[in-house]
Structure 1
Amino acid sequence: MQAFQVKAPHDYDVSEQPVPSPGVGEVLIDVAFAGICGSDMHIIHGDNAFVRFPRITGHEFAGVISAVGDGVDPARIGERVCIDPVVNCGECYPCRIGRPNVCTAMQVIGVHRHGGFAEQVNVPAANAYRLPDTLDLDAAALVEPYSIAANVLSRMNPYPGDRLLIIGAGVIGLTILQMAHAMGIEDVIISDILDTRLETARAMGASHAINGSEQDLEQAVHELTSGEGIPLIADAACVPAMLPAMLRMACPAGRIGLLGFNPTPSDLSQLEVIKKELTLVGSRLNNRKFPEVIAHIEAGRLDPKALISHRVALGDMPEAIHMLDTTPEKARKVLVDIAS
């Protein structure tokens, strides 16, 4: 079978790999579509401390079950599915309290084990979510990024009428924007430094789109909220230096959701946090959000295809990676058509 394999940082190709056989409790997926994510780029650049090379990457994908291992109902063969990449142990403290996405022994498909940039891949049967007949496989491949958005918003515990500020209008920022609307958060402000991204955010229903390179974001938020500040802030830019500004822009009792893995320390004013009684939450991957996302897509509250800017064949992935490295502003979601 053909697969995109990262052999070492900056060393990758599409090559012939052995066809896997499903083990106990596993299913074999004939992959149809897979999305290229920023974290895939981090693996390619050697910026992911968890990955072990060589690795077939890809954690956003959908396809069809073509075989099952022992312990799996053979009736599942032929199911159209999308894959939750979070594989947890079920025994550690986070798992025992219902937080498997921070399992102490967690594995991520496409990081710790082979992923979806391949014609076929094994996954645990429990991680393969059956799709409604009305949901196309290309849209289903993007359930995973929406699950990231659903997770961070749930971690911030929105109240009716809350306003949301999203910092960063890349793919994750746009999924948060769409998911916020699906969850009933109507007033969403989004910021970025690229007008093309902000135009897309406006088209997707952002109430206000602010170019931070042309306008003072803090001043704009101050004016838009009559000085009260923002209840919800989602950091989809993942720039540690932005944290002090987020603390200042948050209103009393506000909640800030952090998504980045950047190890650079952030300045944090304890006074600002305490006087406003702010809540800062981390959000990693997703905590069983796939059914929620699938339901929103099926109901038409989310539009995954609006995120797709490029479609490429598996064999053209090296060129797509080069494009994302050199001109990332030209792309939103690059979708790989594995079966083409």
Structure 2
Amino acid sequence: MQAFQVKAAHDFEVNEQPAPEAAAGEVVIDVAFAGICGSDMHIIHGDNAFVRFPRITGHEFAGVIRAVGEGVDAARVEERVCIDPVVNCGKCYPCRIGRPNVCSAMNVIGVHRNGGFAEQVAVPAANAYRIPEALDLDAAALIEPYSIAANVLSRMAPLPGDRLLVIGAGVIGLTVLQMARAMGIEEIIVTDILDERLATARELGASHTINGRDEDLERAVLAATDGEGIPLIADAACVPSMLPGMLRMACPAGRIGLLGFSATPSDLIQLEVIKKELTLIGSRLNNRKFPEVIAHIETGRLDPKALISHRVALREMPEAIDLLDNHPEKARKVLVRIGS
């Protein structure tokens, strides 16, 4: 079978790989579509501390079950599915308290084990979620990034009337924007330094946008909130140096959701945290948010296809990676067509 394999940092190719077999409790998927994520780019650049090379990457994908392993209902063959990439042990403390997305022994499909940039992939049957017949497989491939947004927003516990600031209008920032609107958050400010991304944010429902290159972000946020500050901040830019500003922009009792994996230290002004009783929230992957996302898509509150800017064939992935490396402002979600 054909697959996109990263052999080492900056060393990747589309090549021939052995077709997988379904072990007990697993299913083999004929992959239809897969999305290229920022974390896939980090793997390619050698900036992901968790990956072990060589690796077939890809954790945003959907397809059709081709075969099942021992213990899996044979009736699932031909089922249309999307894949939650979080594989947990079920035994450690996080798993026991219902937080499998931070499992002590977690494996992530496409990072710790082979993923969806291949014609076929074997995954645990429990990670394959059946999708409605009316949902196209290309849209279903993008359920995973929306699960990231659903997770961070859930962790921030929005209250009626809360305003939200989304820092960064890349793909994750845009999914947070769309998911927040689906959850009923009405006033959403989005900031970025690229006008093209901010224009997309407005198209997708941002009530206010701020170009942080042209305006003083803190002053603009305080002006937009009548000096009060903002209850909810989602950091989708993941720039450690921005944390002090987030602490200042948050209103008392505010919640700040952090999504970045940077190992660079951030300045934490304890006075700002304590005097406002702020909550800093880490959010990793998703905690069983796929059913919630699927429900929002079914009801029309989410439109994954609005994120897609490019569609490429599997063999064209090297060119797509060059686009994302050198002209990220021209792309939102690049979707890879792998099978029919």
Q: Deviations over 1:171-209 (max 9, x none)?
A: 000000000000000100000000000000001110001
Using the alignment, how far apart are the partners of 1:21 and 1:157 within structure 2?
A: 41
Specify every segment of 5 or more residues in structure 2 that has no aligned partner in the other structure, as ranges: none
Q: Determine helix, strand or coil for the equivalent of 2:151.
A: helix
Q: Which residue of 2 aligns with 1:85?
A: 85
How far 1:242 moved relative to its partner?
Answer: 0.3
Task: Report the Cα distance in structure 1 between the residues aligned to 2:225 and 2:12, rounded to whole angstroms.
Answer: 48
Distance 1:227 1:325 in 2: 38
The 3-state SS of whatever aligns with 2:166 is strand
Q: Is 2:205 the partner of 1:205? A: yes
Segments of 5+ residues of structure 1 without an aligned counterpart are none
Q: RMSD over aligned Cα, in angstroms?
A: 0.5
Aligned partner of residue 181 in structure 1, secondary structure: helix
Residue 132 of structure 1 corresponds to 132
Matches within 5 A, 1:107-256: 107-256=107-256
Amino acid at match of 1:303: D
Separation (CA, whole Å) in 2 of partners of 1:201 and 1:326: 22
Give the 5 Å matches for 1:23-102: 23-102=23-102
- Give the letter aligned to residue 120 of structure 1: Q
How many Å separate the matches in 1 of 2:267 and 2:49? 24
In structure 1, how many angstroms separate the alpha carbons of the residues matched to 2:329 and 2:22? 39
Structure 2: distance between partners of 1:189 and 1:118 = 38
CA deviation profile, 1:115-136 (whole Å, cap 9, x unmatched): 0000000000000000001100
SS at match of 1:158: coil
Q: CA deviation at 1:339?
A: 1.5
Q: Deviations over 1:247-282 (max 9, x none)?
A: 000000000000000100000100000000000000
Q: How many residues align?
A: 340
Distance 2:15 2:250 in 1: 49
Q: Distance in 2 between matches of 1:150 and 1:107?
A: 20
Report runs of 4+ in structure 1 exceeding 3 Å deviation. Answer: none
Q: Report the Cα offset of residue 53 of structure 1.
A: 0.4
* Letter matched to residue 147 of structure 1: S
Provide the rounded CA distance (Å) in 2 between the counterparts of 1:218 and 1:207. 17
Match of 2:285 in 1: 285
Structure 1 position 143, deviation (Å): 0.2
Structure 1: distance between partners of 2:185 and 2:159: 9
1:49 offset after TM fit, Å? 0.6
Q: Counterparts of 1:9-28 in structure 2 under 5 Å?
A: 9-28=9-28
Local SS of the residue matching 2:221: helix
Tell me the CA shift for residue 9 of structure 1.
0.3
Corresponding residue number in structure 1 for 2:261: 261
After superposition, what is the alpha-carbon deviation per residue over 1:231-253, rounded to whole angstroms, capped at 9, x for unaligned?
00000000000000000000000
* SS in structure 1 at match of 2:237: coil
Percent identity for Structure 1 against Structure 2: 82
User: Could you tell me how far apart the structure 1 residues matched to 2:281 and 2:141 are?
Assistant: 27
**Match of 1:172, SS?**
helix
Structure 2 residue identity aligned to 1:154: S
Match in the other structure for 1:323: 323
**What is the match of residue 275 of structure 1?**
275
Instruction: Kindly provide the amino acid, as one letter, of the partner of residue 268 in structure 1.
Output: L
**Cα drift, residue 323 of structure 1:** 1.0
Q: Which amino acid aligns with 1:201?
A: A
Q: Distance in 1 between matches of 2:112 and 2:266?
A: 28
Q: C-alpha separation between the residues in 1 aligned to 2:163 and 2:109? A: 34
Instruction: Give the partner amino acid of 1:96.
Output: R
TM-score computed with the length of structure 2 as normaliser: 1.00
Distance in structure 2 (CA, Å) of the matches to 1:109 and 1:205: 32
Deviation for aligned residue 1:301 = 0.4
Residue 13 of structure 1: CA displacement?
A: 0.2
TM-score where L is the length of structure 1: 1.00
AA partner of residue 82 (structure 1): C
Residue 300 (structure 1) aligned with residue 317 (structure 2):
no
Task: Map Cα deviations across residues 126-167 of structure 1 (whole Å, 9 max, x no partner).
Answer: 000000011000000000000000000000010000000000
Secondary structure in 2 matching 1:72: coil
**Which amino acid letter does the alignment assign opposite residue 233 of structure 2?**
I
